[in-house]
Each structure stands twice: as structure tokens, then as C-alpha cells.
């Protein structure tokens, strides 16, 4: 169960397409009637006014990994949910081979 204040990965749609709106941030609340989740930044500003359909709790380390590799993530043909569960050490080694792909 995700609680207010948890660090999360959020995607606009359930499939986690990296070309759609997504973010790493702090879980704020849920609108159960609309099936939306609201995520804010460190200053409490919402990332997306209409919320996100899918969220998952992640570690700060995972969040920093995702943000640090954002250019590669947006270029690669993988769902954001793959990046949520991948082996960060192995992927980091592979990314260093790619350079600034």
C-alpha cells in the first residue's frame, strides 16, 4: 500500500510508455472515483494536475538512478516499469558502454 510521503514512480498510463508523461516524486493522494494518483515534487507542486493512472513505491536510490539515466530511458525501447525492476548495477555498466546514446 502506497502512503502519502512515499517516493514513487508514476506514469500517465498503465503501460509505462516513456514517451508519455511520467515522473519520480512524492506520493500525495488518490482520487478513487477517477482512479488517479497525485504526485508532488519536494516543494509540494503537482507534477500533473489530472494525476497519474499507475504509481509504484521505489527507493530513493532507484529514483536517482532513473532520473540520472533519463536520456537513455527516453531513447530506449523499454517500459518505465522495466526500469523500475531492472538490475541497476548491470544496467549502469551497459549504459556506460552506450555513452550518450
For the segment 38-68, what is each residue's pLDDT rounded down to a tens digit?
999 999 999 999 999 999 999 999 999 999 9
| Predicted confidence (pLDDT) at residue 99 exceeds the cutoff of 60 | no
The confidence score (pLDDT) of residue 77 equals 86
How far apart are alpha carbons 40 and 27 in whole angstroms?
Answer: 6
Report which of 2, 6, 1 is spatially closest to residue 63, judged by C-alpha positions: 6
The confidence score (pLDDT) of residue 1 equals 86
Q: What is the mean pLDDT of residues 72-81?
A: 90
Quote the pTM value: 0.88
Place 101 in a pLDDT band, splitting at 50, 70 and 90. very low
Please give the torsion angle defined by the CA atoms of residues 21, 23, 29 and 30, in that order, rounded to the nearest 10 degrees: 40
**Residue in this structure with the C-alpha cell 514513487, named with its chain if needed:** 8
Q: Give the pairing of strands 22-31 and 36-40.
A: antiparallel
Angle value at C-alpha 39, between 33 and 42, nearest 5 degrees: 155
The confidence score (pLDDT) of residue 97 equals 46
Amino acid at each position: 500500500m502506497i502512503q502519502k510521503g512515499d517516493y514513487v514512480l508514476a506514469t500517465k498510463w498503465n503501460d509505462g510508455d516513456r514517451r508519455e508523461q511520467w515522473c519520480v516524486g512524492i506520493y500525495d493522494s488518490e482520487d478513487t472515483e477517477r482512479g488517479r494518483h497525485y504526485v508532488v515534487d519536494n516543494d509540494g507542486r503537482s507534477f500533473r494536475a489530472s494525476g497519474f493512472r499507475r504509481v509504484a513505491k521505489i527507493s530513493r536510490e532507484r529514483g536517482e538512478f532513473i532520473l540520472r539515466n533519463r536520456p537513455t530511458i527516453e531513447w530506449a525501447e523499454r517500459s518505465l516499469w522495466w526500469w523500475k525492476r531492472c538490475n541497476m548495477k548491470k544496467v549502469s555498466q551497459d549504459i556506460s558502454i552506450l555513452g550518450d546514446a
